Structure 1
Amino acid sequence: MRKPLRKAIFPVGGLGTRFLPATKAMPKEMLPVVDKPLIQYAVEEARAAGIEEMIFVTGRGKSAIEDHFDYSYELQDLLKERNKDAELAMIDNLLPNPGEFAYVRQQEARGLGHAVWCARNLVGNEPFAVLLADDLVQAKTPCLKQMVEVYNEVGGNVVAVMDVPKAHTDRYGILKTGKESGRLVEAAGLVEKPKPDVAPSTLSIIGRYILQPDVFAHLDQQTPGAGGEIQLTDAMAKMCGRGRFHGYRFEGRRFDCGDKAGFIEANIAYALNHPKIGGRIRDAVLDFAEQQVKVARPEAAE
Structure 2
Amino acid sequence: MQRIRKAVIPAAGFGTRFLPATKATPKEMLPIVDKPTIQYIVEEALASGIEEILIISGHAKRAIEDHFDSAPALEMELEKKGKNELLKMVQETAAIKIHYIRQQQMRGLGDAILCARAFMQDEPFAVLLGDDVVYNGDGKPALQQLIDVYNETGSSVLGCQTVPEDKVSSYGIVKGEPTDNKRMLRVLDMVEKPSVEDAPSRMAVLGRYVITPAIFDILAHTLPGKGNEIQLTDALQVLAKRQSVYAYDFEGIRYDLGDKLGFLKATVEFALRREDLGRPFQIYLKRLVANL
State the TM-score bracket (shorter-chain normalisation).
over 0.9
**How far did residue 191 of structure 1 move?**
2.4
CA distance in 1, matches of 2:286, 2:163: 28
Asked if 1 retains the 8 angstrom alpha-carbon contact of 2:117 and 2:216, the reply is yes
State which drifts further: 85-94 or 168-177: 168-177
| Pairing partner for 1:107 from 87, 101, 104 | 104
Tell me how far apart the structure 1 counterparts of residues 92 and 243 of structure 2 sit (CA, whole Å). 39
2:129 alignment partner, one of 122, 127, 132 = 132
Say whether 1:77 aligns with 2:59: no
Q: Where does the alignment leave 5 or more consecutive residues of structure 2 unmatched?
A: none
Match of 1:299? none
Q: Given the superposition, is the C-alpha separation of residues 227 and 200 from structure 1 closer, same or farther in structure 2, using an over 3 Å criterion?
A: farther
Residue in structure 2 matched with residue 9 of structure 1 by the alignment: 8
Aligned to 1:295: none
Q: Which amino acid aligns with 1:256?
A: D
| Structure 1 residue 220, shift from structure 2 partner | 0.2
What secondary structure does 1:40 align onto?
helix
**Letter aligned with residue 150 of structure 2:** Y
Q: Which has the larger radius of gyration?
A: 1
Q: Name the amino acid aligned to 1:102.
A: H
**Residue 172 (str. 1) matches residue 168 (str. 2):** no
1:273 aligns with 2:273: yes
Distance in 2 between the 1:226 and 1:197 partners? Answer: 23
Query: Which one is further off, 149-158 or 168-177?
Result: 168-177
Give the match's secondary structure for 1:208.
strand
Equivalent-residue separation in structure 2 for 1:49 and 1:165 (angstroms): 28
Kindly indicate whether the alpha-carbon contact (under 8 Å) linking 2:203 and 2:249 is maintained by their aligned counterparts in 1. Answer: no
- The answer (yes or no) to whether the contact 1:114–1:222 under 8 Å persists in 2 is no
In structure 1, the partner of 2:264 is: 264
The change in CA–CA distance for 1:164 and 1:225 in structure 2 (over 3 A counts) is: farther
RMSD: 1.4
Match of 1:158 in 2: 157
Which stretch of the first structure deviates more once superposed, 11-20 or 220-229? 220-229
Q: Could you tell me whether the CA contact under 8 Å between 2:124 and 2:211 is conserved in 1?
A: yes
* Offset of residue 287 of structure 1: 2.1
Whole-Å separation in 2 of the counterparts to 1:75 and 1:201: 51
* Cα offset, 1:195, TM superposition: 4.0
Q: Deviations over 1:179-222 (max 9, x none)?
A: 14222221111223334443322211001000001111111014
2:63 aligned counterpart, secondary structure = helix
| Counterpart-to-counterpart distance in 2, 1:96 and 1:158 | 29
C-alpha displacement of 1:55: 0.5
2: CA distance, partners of 1:255 / 1:128 = 23
| CA deviation after TM superposition for structure 1 residue 242, in Å | 2.4
CA shift, 1:34, in A, is 1.0
- State which drifts further: 77-86 or 146-155: 146-155
Over residues 52-76 of structure 1, what are the superposed CA-to-partner deviations in whole Å (9 max), with x where a residue is unaligned?
Answer: 1101111000000000000111100
Count of equivalent residues: 289
Matches within 5 A, 1:59-78: 59-78=58-77
Separation in 2, partners of 1:165, 1:225: 28
> Which residue number in structure 2 is paired with residue 48 of structure 1?
47
Structure 1 runs not aligned, ≥5 long: 293-302
| Deviations, residues 241-294 of structure 1 (Å, cap 9, x unaligned) | 4222111111111000111000000011101101100001111222233233xx
CA shift, 1:101, in A, is: 1.7
Report the counterpart of residue 92 of structure 1 in structure 2: 91
Q: What is residue 182 of structure 1 aligned with on the other side?
A: 182
Alignment of 1:17-56 (within 5 A): 17-56=16-55
CA distance in 2, matches of 1:289, 1:261: 17
Residue identity matched to 2:115: C
> Which residue in the other structure is 1:238 paired with?
238
* Whole-Å separation in 2 of the counterparts to 1:114 and 1:279: 45
After TM superposition, the score normalised by the length of structure 1 is 0.92
